[in-house]
Amino acid sequence: MEAELMRIGVSIPDALLNQFDEIIKKRDSSSRSEAIRDALISYITYYEWMEDIKGRRVGTIAVIYDHKKSGLSNAIINVQHHYSHLIKYSVHMYLDTDDCFELIVLDGSGQEITDLAGSIISLKGVKFSKLTTVDPNKKI
């Protein structure tokens, strides 16, 4: 039995859609709809993975944000202070006149690490955030 398909409308900035269309061409995707479905599956899988992070973890959060966005730098600092018991190191780099890159190195409860990552990505003006964790006790 085939799944029912739903039509939706999405507002996307021209530049982002053009970039998406270029990737679709390069990857030989059959359609924009197929590529959007693939992106949604990837997004859902990532957040399901985040919800499954349990026990002690070590990891990083990479963040790119617009430091000119009013109050954003202070909001990021406040979040980091709230979770300071998890943060081992933080590196800050200026990318250009608008954007900053921050790499946060963490060690602690997987649940708290995902809460920290969620608090940062939800801030307006954060352009990119990627959480990576590993179980330090797991044999590789």
Tokens of 118: 């969620």
Predicted confidence at residue 45, as pLDDT, reads 79
Q: 46-66 burial, b for 16+ CB within 10 Å, e for fewer?
A: eeeebeebeeebbbbbebebe
What is the rounded radius of gyration, in angstroms, for the C-alpha atoms of the chain? 18
Q: What is the CATH number of the domain that holds 87?
A: 3.30.70.1150
**If we measure between CA atoms, which residue out of 36, 43, 45, 46 comes closest to residue 5?**
36
Each residue of 61-112: pLDDT tens digit?
A: 999 999 999 999 999 999 999 999 999 999 999 999 999 999 999 999 999 9
- Structural domain contains residue 140: no
62 in the same domain as 40: no
Residue with tokens 């797991």: 138
Q: How many domains does the chain have?
A: 2
77 in the same domain as 40: no
